[in-house]
Amino acid sequence: MSTLYDFTVKDQEGKDVSLKDYEGKVVLVINSATECGFTPHYQWLQEIYQDLHEKGLEILDFPCNQFANQTPGDDAEIHQFCTGRFGVTFPQFSKVDVNGENAIPLWQWLTTETTFQGFHGAAKLLLTPVVKKMDPNYKNNGKIKWNFTKFLIGKNGEIVQRFEPTADAKEVRAGIEALL
């Protein structure tokens, strides 16, 4: 069985980064976008990171342009936006595909080993028709449905929990704190 530590990804300069570097940490892996209604998640993710990084939390950000082309910039532009607008200090990686034949192995693993958790709240009304049009079988597979899907990884490198974009900050934070 694979763990987070079995994967290598590209940083913003295109250099290989072994995720084994995060061994023993609680890790939150996200797919992000800079022009999405969920982009303000960066603010509360940064707050959680500031509060819990010293206790062993890492947040790994993977920008993705697969959902309504909401991440149009290159890696440098994305990083500048995130640091300038939201003060992001957690690691950001090269823009990737999270679904389909070009999805990087990390995201293939994340989506194969988890299932869709359902949308919640008012955003459910907006997202469900869009996602259903893209994937009529969306409820029955682990594909990423939208920007800011989050995966909580335990200190052993195994997936503990998946949070859809509609999960709120308190729910995500509680999951992280339970593992720290």
Tens-digit pLDDT profile for residues 27-67: 999 999 999 999 999 999 999 999 999 999 999 999 999 99
Whole-angstrom distance, CA of residue 139 vs CA of residue 86: 32
Catalytic residues: 36
CA distance 25 to 41: 22
Report d(CA 147, CA 134) in Å as an integer.
Answer: 14
Give the CATH number of the domain where residue 85 resides.
3.40.30.10
Please give the distance of CA 119 from its chain centroid, rounded to a whole number: 16
What range defines the domain where residue 127 resides? Answer: 4-179
What confidence category does residue 1 fall into, taking pLDDT thresholds of 50, 70 and 90?
A: confident
* End-to-end CA separation in angstroms for the chain: 23
* Rounded alpha-carbon distances, angstroms, from residue 127 to 53, 71, 87, 110, 132: 31, 18, 28, 21, 8
Q: How many residues are given for the chain?
A: 180
Q: Which of 62-71, 122-131, 143-152 is predicted least confidently?
A: 122-131
Into how many domains does the chain fold? Answer: 1
127 vs 148: CA distance, rounded Å: 13
pLDDT at 114: 97
- In angstroms, rounded to a whole number, what is the distance separating the alpha carbons of residues 18 and 110? 16
